[in-house]
Amino acid sequence: MKAPTNGPHGNSIPKSEIGRLLQDYLNYLEIEKNRSPRTSENYRHYLLAFLGSTGVSRPAEITDSVVRDFRVALARRGIKRITQGYYAIALRNFLKYLAKRDVETLAAEKIELPKVPARQIDVLEYGDLERLLAAPKGGSLRDLRDKAVLELFFSTGLRLSELCTLPRTIDLRRGELSVRGKGDKLRVVFISGTAREATERYLAARAKAGGAGDADDRLFVSIDRRGRVIGPITQRAVQRLVVARATQAGIPNKIHAHLLRHSFATDLLVNGADLRSVQELLGHANISTTQIYTHLTNKQLREVHKAFHGKRREE
């Protein structure tokens, strides 16, 4: 989640009592809660914006009215409700931290999160998905890599960042691998036979092509126009290859790499997987995150209704 521009303090933490506590909190997120650098940076942005806008210098100065005025200001700036929620979450969690340290301030429970519309996501139609997976047909290292990327992406439901950091030494014979995802949480994902076969062909071709320094320990690599390995693959490179292969497959809709993760989840649910299992496979901390996929399967209910409803009345 991207934070808007901060207030008068810019990107520096103020030298005040609340500033020192904020720095302690950010250290706590990084060291004790093991949050990612991106998460810590987002919290820093949101909380600095709050301090910069309100002029608060002590925890006791954070009151109901101060928070309310700040949230009104956010709304009047035209900031989306979901982003307003990010500010509220950051502030509420900071207040919880202060309470744990017995610092007198506003109770975190006083801050209510704004109601936002249910998140809507896109997913590839099954026919488009099949054409995308079949798009890389050649025998070049680039074609074989792209085929392996797409098949492994769909087979495992990995996040883009997780896919790009997979080690070259994964044991494909086991048909599963352990992945360390968000929040440093470990989960197991599974490799289909099609994905394993595509990855094995790619690795065999890659062994002939040789490595390129720091690319040697990564499963997927960047390849130049001459077919040479030039370094580890980047998230942007994966996004480009997905778009290019979608264009090649004649898919007219806007495509992004994360659609393969969405398709993975939806495919499981449509075929009868329970929500808790899909949550585990995706590495979601909360099942509410996984529930965003259920609206995509509602069209299956129409077929169930059509097949089974009112049969006795037709007799």
Residues with catalytic annotation? 159, 182, 258, 261, 284, 293
Considering Cα of 4, then 7, then 10, then 14, what sign does the dihedral take? negative
Dig out the tokens for 116 from the structure: 């936002």
The angle formed by the CA atoms of residues 229, 206 and 176, to the nearest 5 degrees, is 115
Dig out the tokens for 255 from the structure: 């495509």
Query: Strand, helix or coil at 211?
Result: coil
Q: DSSP letter for 167, please.
A: B
Interhelix angle for 141-156 vs 259-270, to 10°?
Answer: 50
Q: With contact defined as beta carbons under 8 Å apart, do 6 and 43 qualify?
A: no
- Taking the CA atoms of residue 185, residue 188, residue 194 and residue 196 in that order, the dihedral angle to the nearest 10 degrees is 90
